[in-house]
Structure 1
Amino acid sequence: MTPLLYTLGVVFFVLAILASIGLHELGHMIPAKAFGGKVTQYFIGFGPTVWSKQVGETEYGVKAIPLGGYVKIVGMLPPAAEDLDEDAEHPQYDEDGNRVIRIRKSNTGMFTQLVSDARAAEWEHIKPGDEDRLFYRMAWWKKVIVMAGGPTVNLLIAFFIFWGVFGLYGTRTPEPDAGQPVIDTVSRCVIPYNEEGRDCAASDPPAPAYEAGLRPGDVITSFNGTSVRDWDQLRALIRANDNGRAVIVYERDGVERTGTTSTTVELRPASASDLTVSQVGFLGVTPTFHTAVVYGGPVYTLQEMGGMTVQTVEALGQLPVKVYGVGRAIVGAQEREQDSPVSIVGGGRIAGEVASTDKAQVTEKAVFLLLLVAGFNLFIGLFNFIPLLPLDGGHIAGALYEAIRRGVARARHRPDPGYVDVAKLLPVAYVVASALLVMGVVLIVGDLVVPVRTEF
């Protein structure tokens, strides 16, 4: 592993993610300003300010902790009806002719006070003349566009990266050679799946294939009396055999031979693309492979991303359980699963390892790093569409609910119910934010203590 290449890989990944974050926030800011909203801050990162510059009414800057970003759109939270010191029939105006809106702070109760404080903090940024530029007063469809703009940018970044890779490099998958399987490698011992890559230890049991006398170059023609047509059929027969007796007929240098052994039961992934592990029969051989290359354009890219989206949504549903598994791995209660989620720290570590490995060509490394960035953007985009505050999807859900509620009121000839008060959901937002913070810390610690291994 070359330290310089490792560092370059980490730097590339971090800069790519920071650029993605910056573009995500532009996806919010540009439509917000286009619709007349007031944006006072645009920052990449959190924590202490490293650099900032005031341009017009917006402060642009970078903060010390590069784990996200934000734009401050004025008026995200509406005032509560009971706190609004405003007479709709007799509005008050200041000496410059601006309408006066005041917020009273007279609430009791923990959550009520939290909401009240959040409203007051929000309205400290509002100046006379801003009344018609407040986010909560925008039409519902404008709110949807503003809040969906950020994650949509991430999805577009992922799309264009995937399209470039699929169009120029193609999708390359190893496929077994056609016909009866020719053995490429024979394992000398049985190594657990989560420890693959290490050498055999004295405590490791011998692999069934090695015990049966199989060697590279042998052609397997029969398994337990069933004539073998191709590798897929043989693989299915082995996995279904559990720990049963296995009689293997094979050819070596044109001479037919027979080997007898017993397959062993091991945790193995379903396939190269499906890393879901289960207990199956294991023999310990791999066939000769060739690389199949498929090039694709935008339609192919959308189809591939559709499958990735399904897998990502399924992964999001399992995220709390997966993070819990990472926590157990940190304390040594279990091994870290290969398909467990990683933080930006883990992504940077993977990028560094790939960039510095000597097991891949420069083109393969570049493609892997691009796909890593695209995968992160796809995940970030879909994650932010979850309809829970403080995520973008929570604000989108609020805007859609406002549209439905107002539409129903119009259809039933009832008074306009007004704006949806998303501030009432702030207690939920605090719980969700706390959970996200805990999961983020667990993943970062896990990526430092028990990192996911790369396949290169």
Structure 2
Amino acid sequence: MTSVLLYALGILIIVLLLGISIALHEIGHLLPAKLFGVKVTQYMIGFGRTLWSRKKGETEYGVKILPLGGYVAMIGMYPPSKPGEAPRESTTGFLNSVVEESPVKVSKGHGEHIVDEITRVGDVGELPDADRAAPGAPASMPAEGNASAESLSADGLTPEAVEEAEYRRGLAGWVDEARDASAETIADGEDHRTFYRLPVWKKIVVMAGGPLMNLLLAFLFFGIVISGFGVAQTSTTLGAVNECLVPASSTQTTCGSDDPAAPAAAAGLLPGDKLLAVDGEAIDSWEQFRSIVAASPAQPLSLEIERAGSTEKLSLTPEPNEAVVVDKNGQTVLNEDGTPKTATVGMIGASAATETVRLPITEVPAFVGENVKNVAGIIVKLPARMVDVWNAAFGPDERDPNGPMGPVGVGRLAGEVVSMEQAPIAARAQFIFSLAGSLNVALFVFNLVPLMPLDGGHIAGAIYEAIKRGWAKLRRKPDPGPVDTAKMVPITFVVVIALGAMGILLAYADIVKPVALFG
């Protein structure tokens, strides 16, 4: 029973930390938007039906039923499609574009009337007069008779041109419907408070505020992990000394009479001995000592150690051993023919003891940077990683512990760790903070992907606007105005559908084939 309660507690803790991270992400959008004078109508955590809300000033704050993110609704995120038309309200949340801004809906202007807008895209050439709707005729019917694609073609448009026109009309309608989905016309005198009228740098600050808040949280959580709890590191103290040397591929656990004695044991080294110097060179880390040993096969080394408070000198001769060469990232180096590259290195049959070291706070940026690089690498290879997840979920393959994981998997992992009663409480707490830090790094990197409706897509739109306006200025052309990111709505829905499919696959895989970090 205790384990079950601890498992549930682990899930609850990580859900709360994730909720706090999402809430602060949206505050990262909210604060600069209000600072720059943009009217913010909603600040919501979650999506779907509202569980609780309260209006303070002009902004409604609330919590919704689906805890899958959040959003901030600002008026005029999309500029009007035509001069003089009222700009539209939209949100920063990508799931909200599906849950609450579905293009199937028809919006109500100030709740008084239904907006029924019919838009035509005319870039494919003017249609003949006979094919234009007469005043009062239904929009879906030609003005004269039952003109069809064939009649259009007979009047000068090829079937391919007709098909392209229909396709472009469909996209235009999609864009317009998305504009109208959660739209509310801007009240008189508030046009200057729309998002689209902000200077480019302010748009970037508003949209980057959310991801940057997650980055700050990652600094906080990882600071607690490495500077508060500390990290396990190899020390210059021996943790174990083997009696003999056996091949790395061997499974034997005891030494046989024919096995050669380990150089460390032959030299008289014992667990607990602290390494001080080798051939007069002071030893500051285990990696330094291991490098010296590896570079000295069959060469006697003068060793200075500290044992029980006193200093002793020993002679150590590393045993030559063929080992696979690895790079700085631990990856096997290959020969030109694809076989693993090997080299003769020294081996002594001893390993280092580990100790918990609290790193200075100045080490946090590098620690976070390494995590950002790793997550970015996963996202760049996300399609291939998702194929691996599919193969694991529906086949015999195991999940990659360094691969993508969904909310279900994160919750399971937190529950498993917290319910490990044999582990110290401090170690379990440290893991939860580390997990929260990793989640915030993931939120930071993922939201900066330059695709709508992610924050990175809006930032990319603002950068494109700066380039477009700057180029027009250099050429002494009229200001082209703000970029209409609403035209990216078709791509937005493709991205949302892909993300939804990815989420479903990860949830299924996290249930039937969860990531196993502890064997």
Tell me the residue number matched to 1:440.
Answer: 503
The one of 455, 474, 487 equivalent to 1:411 is: 474
Contact 1:183 1:288 in 2 (8 A): no
The equivalent of 1:339 in structure 2 is: 402
Kept after mapping to 2: 8 A contact 1:85/1:104: no
CA distance in 2: counterparts of 1:220 and 1:287, whole angstroms: 10
2:392 matched to which residue of 1? 329
* 1:157 aligned to which of 208, 217, 223: 217
Q: TM-score, normalised by structure 2?
A: 0.66
2:77 is paired with a residue of what secondary structure?
A: coil
Aligned to 1:75: 76
Contact 2:228 2:358 in 1 (8 A): no
- Match status 1:376 vs 2:389: no
CA contact (8 A) 1:158 1:377 kept: yes
Helix, strand or coil at the partner of 1:157: helix
Residue aligning to 1:59: 60
2:359 is matched with which residue: 267, 277, 295?
Answer: 295
How far the C-alpha of 1:130 sits from its partner, in A, is: 2.6
Residue in 1 that maps onto 2:457: 394
Provide the TM-score with structure 1 as the length reference. 0.74
Match of 1:166 in 2: 226
Secondary structure of 1:74's partner? strand
3-state SS of paired residue (1:45):
strand
Cα deviation code 1:358-411 (max 9, x no counterpart): 342111111111111011101101111111111101101111111222122222
Cα contact 1:173–1:292 (8 A) shared by 2: yes
| Aligned mates of 1:305, 1:351 — CA distance in 2 | 21
Q: 1:414 & 1:169 partners in 2: Cα distance?
A: 60
Shift of 1:454: 2.8
Alignment match, 2:163: none
Q: Which amino acid aligns with 1:376?
A: L
User: Given the superposition, is the C-alpha separation of residues 123 and 105 from structure 1 closer, same or farther in structure 2, using an over 3 Å criterion?
Assistant: farther
- Judged with a 3 Å threshold, the aligned counterparts in structure 2 of structure 1 residues 32 and 389 are, in CA distance, closer, same or farther, namely same
Query: SS in structure 1 opposite 2:43?
Result: strand
SS of 2:428's partner is helix
Question: Residue in 1 aligned with 2:47?
Answer: 46
Shift of 1:85: 8.6
CA distance 1:274–1:72, change in 2 (3 Å): farther
Aligned to 2:241: 182
Structure 2 distance, partners of 1:451, 1:140, is 44
1:182 Cα shift? Answer: 2.1
1:154/1:377 contact within 8 Å kept: yes
Of the three residues 95, 101, 106, the one matched with 2:119 is: 106
1:207 to 219, 235, 251: 251
Change (3 A) 1:262 1:118: same
CA displacement at 1:69 relative to structure 2: 0.9
**Matched residue of 1:4: which SS?**
helix
Letter of the structure 2 residue corresponding to residue 207 of structure 1: T
Q: 1:48 to 1:123 in 2, by over 3 A?
A: closer
8 A Cα contact 1:41 1:71, kept in partner: yes
Identity of aligned residues (%): 39
Q: Deviations over 1:110-149 (max 9, x none)?
A: 3221101112235335333331111111111111111000
Gaps of 5+ in 1: 87-101, 191-205, 223-228, 238-258
**For 1:184 and 1:45, how far apart are their aligned partners in 2?**
60
- Pick one of 193, 197, 200 that aligns with 1:140: 200
Moved more, 144-153 or 111-120: 111-120
Query: In structure 2, the residue corresponding to 1:400 is in which secondary structure?
Result: helix
Taking the TM superposition and a 5 Å limit, the aligned residue runs for 1:349-388 are 349-388=412-451
Q: 1:150: how far off?
A: 0.4
* Residues in 1 aligned to 2:418 and 2:31: alpha-carbon distance in whole angstroms: 35
C-alpha contact 1:83 1:103 (8 A) present in aligned 2:
no
Give 1:172 shift.
Answer: 2.1
Contact 1:386 1:394 in 2 (8 A): yes
Instruction: Quickly say closer, same or farther: Cα 1:145–1:7, change in 2 above 3 A.
Output: same
CA distance in 1, matches of 2:64, 2:53: 9
- Does the Cα contact within 8 Å between 2:78 and 2:196 map onto a contact in 1? yes
Could you tell me how far apart the structure 1 residues matched to 2:350 and 2:386 are? 33
Distance 1:106 1:335 in 2: 52
CA 327–397 in structure 1, closer or farther in 2 if over 3 Å, else same: same
Q: Is the 8 A contact 2:245 2:262 kept in 1?
A: no
| 1:122-137 correspondence to structure 2 within 5 Å | 122-124=182-184, 126-137=186-197
Q: How many residues align?
A: 394
Structure 1 residues 277 and 76, CA gap change in structure 2 (3 angstroms): farther
Note the alpha carbon deviations across 1:22-64, whole angstroms, 9 max, x for none.
0100111111111111111111112222222222222211112
**8 Å Cα contact 2:45-2:69 kept in structure 1:** yes
CA contact (8 A) 2:36 2:202 kept: yes
Q: Which has the larger radius of gyration?
A: 2
Structure 2 contact 238–351 (Cα < 8 Å) conserved = no
Q: Return 5+ residue gaps in structure 2 as ranges.
A: 88-114, 121-165, 267-287, 297-318, 343-348
Q: Secondary structure at the match of 2:62?
A: strand
**Structure 1: how far apart are the matches of 2:406 and 2:70?**
16
Q: Distance in 2 between matches of 1:236 and 1:447?
A: 45
**Equivalent-residue separation in structure 2 for 1:218 and 1:413 (angstroms):** 79
Distance 1:431 1:286, change over 3 A: farther
Shift of 1:183: 3.6
